Chains A and B, each alone.
Chain A
Amino acid sequence: MSVASAVAEQVLNGLVVGMVYVLLAAGLSIIFGVMDVINFAHGELFALGAYFAFAIAGPLGGAGFWVALVVAPLLVGVVGMGIERLTVKRLYGRDPLYHILLTFGLVLIINDLITSVWGKSAQPFPIPAVLDQPVALFGFNYSLYNYGIIIFGSVLAIATWLLLNRTRFGMIIRAGSEDREMVRNLGINIDRYYTLTFGFGAALAGVAGIVLGAYQNVSPTMGSSVIIPAFVIVVLGGLGSFRGAVVGGLFVGLVQTFARTYAPFLEGLIVFLLMIVVLVVRPKGLFGTNIGAGEHHDGALLHGAGGGVLSSATRAKIGYAAVGVLVVVPFFAELTGVTYSVTLLEDILIWALFALSLDLVLGYAGLVSLGHTLFYGVGAYASVLTLLHFSPSVFVALLVAVVVCAAIAWSVGYLSIRVSGVFFAMITLAFAELFYNAVFKFDFTGGSDGLFGVDVFYGLAGIGIDPREFEIPLGIMTIDGGIVQYYFLLVVVVGSYLLARRLIRAPFGSVLQAIRESEERASFVGYDVTAYKRRAFVVSGGLAGLAGGLFAANNGYVAPSFLHWVNSGEVIVMTVLGGMGTLYGPMIGAGVFVAAEDILSSYIDQWQLVIGVLFVLFVIFVPRGLVSLPQTIAEQPLFDSVVRDRAKVNDPEVERHD
């Protein structure tokens, strides 16, 4: 085969992959770009399309695929409209952050429903027989279905573009994305159009699910495997630009395909490198417009702080009580034999620290970091590598973890703090994914298995406690290394909380909150907004690194999953769940999240469904988080007098759960 036809074949491959990306991103681009909804459930709607098609095509035989191609997207569209009506609609006007929590819940719900109907294994969904054959064109064999994907993708892209740009429907949608109030004032029922738009975006996801279901396979994880690439394409192409999504998709497909042949080491990295470069050089994406960029951060962030029913003196007392409870738990556990509660509490404390670190930027500086697990994971790797190669001292390991993460946070912040809102979220996500994929490639990070077999020493230069040999018999119980580990953890976490509180009460914290409330005003008063945000990001990165380092030192290992984006999503969920903008809220959120998942998953097979429903209800009805629960209840006029007293009794229980 000649070089020319080999290159031509790779161009075709690139176009196929590119069209796959276009199909994935088309629906998301509309929902994300037009409605400002960060829809993590897009992947699950995609999967739902494939499963509906599988259910329809199976019994119908030969023509089934074509029937499914029409019917299944309509069904997904209806599901989408239902989702918009019941849930998304209630969040309009709020910061896109809340959509993360909401759609995270929807992901769990839809995924659980899919596995309970169709099982957990991949299902056969063959390419229709007519298209399932190689054809020889341009001097080489190539799959007819792949040609089909290119043609189908093009037609769909053009049709969608025409719909958005040449019809009244599209005109209203575009107008609504720029100024919803104005459209409403013109007498147009914009809400109805938003429902239709969400349904249309969902239907496009469904179409992609069918076309790709036949090209790949139909399985419960197909949704989560496409969601990150889909976001990349949409952001890279330019938010709110459908044309951008199409060009971006094809561009990424081609670059990725050629990199596979000519620069295989970059596999897994190139897409995110590309995304970072594009966002740094041109924050609005390849085809984005300024209008989109400016509009994307005016939703209301709802904080848990302020106006609580409890006085600060009461809150302080509750805080002391909570720490007191945490101090005595191990003794209680020893006496009753429920030692697992200590194990669970250790995990909770670490996640609480992680959530606290995120809250410093999310709740106080208004920066949505969607890649915070970068610091958690790097902290864990740094601490394990230090313990393995340099020093068995946990102090040294944690110090290294904090310093390394703070340095990375400074660099990431330097590059990305200038961009705001959704773009910042996406650029941090790209950095996190870059590191996630990189650790697989090196021997010193232990590849996909991670690093194991670390022993820690709680001291410096030989003076301190070796938890493996530490033992004090104390009457009916024995105090040993496990206790040292727990109290060390508790001291570090409480210490970090006090440090964060000191920081927030200092002028530094007031400036941050001023920036959160109005960036413009803060800069008019003369503060260097970017520098303040970056400093907060450095502190936050360092604390997240400390959390990761603690986990790794505590458990003696690290694995690539520490860097997986799901952690970033979960820590946002914990923060919002607990109540961001208060330091203790996210810590309570972490406690409730980890404990609920641990307990539910032990007793209920459908635990994802239950947790998903809880998230959705929470974000709709208690958006200010768990810490606002007493106030939310107290504000119910009916229960006002009765509950006002009881709230004071209830709150410590919430704390103690933590």
Chain B
Amino acid sequence: MSEIIWESQIALPRGVHCRVAAKMTEIVATHDAQVQLAAEGGTADCSSMLEILSLALTQGSSVRCTATGPNAPQVAQAIDQLLSAKKEL
């Protein structure tokens, strides 16, 4: 089982809002992996969009992510791509 740790910078203009959070939970749910997030606002499990939202990830903030599970690499890539996108989802 692999574990990947990385740090993402939020580039999304309106930060991680509902739709982004929903997308993150979807990625985790469909890839057989777990992702933990740690930011200034606390920690969150990526399976819960409310936990993600409550981290209040606004544009410019950074989040430390830990992906575990068989598909960790793909999930890590997908999530990082989502968070660092410059265009609104």
B partners with A: no
